[in-house]
Structure 1
Amino acid sequence: MNTETPTVVALGDLTPEQRKQLLIEAKESIKADKEKKKGNYVAFKELAAEFVGRNINALTDLHSVNEKVILSVFEDFNPTLAIRKELYGDSDQNSYTSTLADGSQSITIGYNVTISFDGTEPAGINKIKEYLATLALDNANAKKLSSSLNLLLKPNGKTGMLKPNVVLQLKELRAEYNDEGFDEGIEIIEKAQIFTRTTQYVRGWNYVTNEAGQRKKISFSFSV
């Protein structure tokens, strides 16, 4: 086994011709690396295009099948939904779950929902910030908490609106602060919310027994 330490040559020890040759070799090496990277990029784009071509039709066909099944499941739930409304009253909830008593099978149908605001939420934000300003006067910890909540109330950079999950986070703090202005601010923000139904989905599970007698939970989730 060769354990000799490689000889290190200082650049200053080289002759001008040797330094020139070293520079030429370095430039050629960099050029070769760039050409290799360029070739890999082209190969990557070609492979990606081939991947899409091999799979896009199957996935498109699958989407069509899922859409038909999901719409059929929603339609089939209508009689159950009608009786549910008679028993529990009308509701604007976005999902319904039906589960067998033994928990072996379950289906949830529903709508994915996006949350936006109608433009009146700044009044609520201002009320909360007014309360946070009083907190900042108390002590260092309260000042840090006030700064954190002010960041939470910062609008989304793309939409210019509050982040949808902010309302839930603020509601969790309601009891802790117990302030009328804070509560009023949250109520204003809540009322400013606009809930828009988007895609439909079907989710659930089914416990099945395979040929070997093993029980397995099969979960599914489809949306259109």
Structure 2
Amino acid sequence: MENQEKPTISLSDLSPEQVKQLTLQAKEAAKTERKKRQENYKAFKELGAEFLQRNITSLTELRGINENVILNVFKDFEPTLAMRKELYGASDQDSYTTTLPDGSQSITIGYNVAISFDGTEPAGITKIKQYLATLSGDNNNARKLAASLNVLLKPNGKTGMLKPNVVLQLKALRDEYNDEGFDDGIEIIERAQIFTRTTQYVRGWSYITDENGQRKKLTFNFSV
């Protein structure tokens, strides 16, 4: 038996009383839906609060344990770091890696670094934009590149400064543009960077053999 489509009913086919009844039903349905949504929001918040209560204590306690472990690892690395400086010279690098010759174990200790600017970077941006202005001729591809870079050079809406990764992106384009003004602009922006060490971290891996005789690589990454 073939399925028959239900006939379409137009409001003009209904009596004023029927239209009124449908309107009331629609309002009631909308009211019920709003109430259900509000109840779901409330249930969601309660579920989130219960999740926090179940886990927050163990996580905060774990942070304390991790912090002690990381500080001990940094302290234990001091003799190795002293010898490294003696052999290779002093360095201002932010991380150091120690790996076994067979690659089975490795530890990297270091500092996460936040990048900001000292306020002199606008001079570099101006130089780059002056060069970009020369690309706005009849070459469509050049105009597109200039437009893309102008977007890239816009400051962060919250900090009012360039985004930290912009410098790396500009340096990657240095050979492509091959312009003295463009290079000068990049160098000004580079010199304006301020690198601030924030949190300490310990990362690494160790290969183990599990109960089934399978060799597995266990990785770890702790930060405080």
**CA–CA separation in structure 2 for the residues paired with 1:52 and 1:152:** 39
**CA–CA separation in structure 1 for the residues paired with 2:174 and 2:5:** 69
Structure 1 residues 137 and 10: CA distance shift in structure 2, 3 A: closer
Matching residue's letter, 2:144: K
Offset of residue 114 of structure 1: 0.5
The within-5 A match list for 1:110-125 is: 110-125=110-125
**Bigger mean CA offset, 18-27 vs 190-199:** 18-27
Cα deviation, 1:103-136, whole Å, max 9, x if unaligned, reads 1100000100010000001111111111111222
Match of 1:179 in 2: 179
Structure 2 residue ranges without an equivalent (≥5):
none
Match of 2:160 in 1: 160
Pair 1:9 & 2:13 matched? no
Match of 1:200 in 2: 200
The within-5 A match list for 1:112-151 is: 112-137=112-137, 139-151=139-151
Cα deviation, 1:179-220, whole Å, max 9, x if unaligned, reads 211111111111100000000011111100011111100011
Structure 1 length as normaliser, TM-score?
Answer: 0.96
> Identity over aligned residues, as a percent?
71
Match of 2:94 in 1: 94
**Bigger mean CA offset, 102-111 vs 177-186:** 177-186
Matching residue's letter, 1:162: L
Matching residue's letter, 1:137: G
Structure 1 residue ranges without an equivalent (≥5):
none
Match of 1:36 in 2: 36
Matching residue's letter, 2:94: N
Offset of residue 144 of structure 1: 1.6
C-alpha RMSD of the superposition: 1.4
Pair 1:190 & 2:190 matched? yes
Matching residue's letter, 2:78: N
Match of 2:52 in 1: 52
The within-5 A match list for 1:53-68 is: 53-68=53-68
Structure 1 residues 2 and 45: CA distance shift in structure 2, 3 A: farther
Matching residue's letter, 2:15: T
Matching residue's letter, 1:36: K
Matching residue's letter, 2:5: T
Matching residue's letter, 2:153: L
Matching residue's letter, 1:111: Y
Secondary structure at the counterpart of residue 206 of structure 1: strand
Secondary structure at the counterpart of residue 3 of structure 2: coil
**Bigger mean CA offset, 81-90 vs 178-187:** 178-187
**CA–CA separation in structure 1 for the residues paired with 2:8 and 2:147:** 56
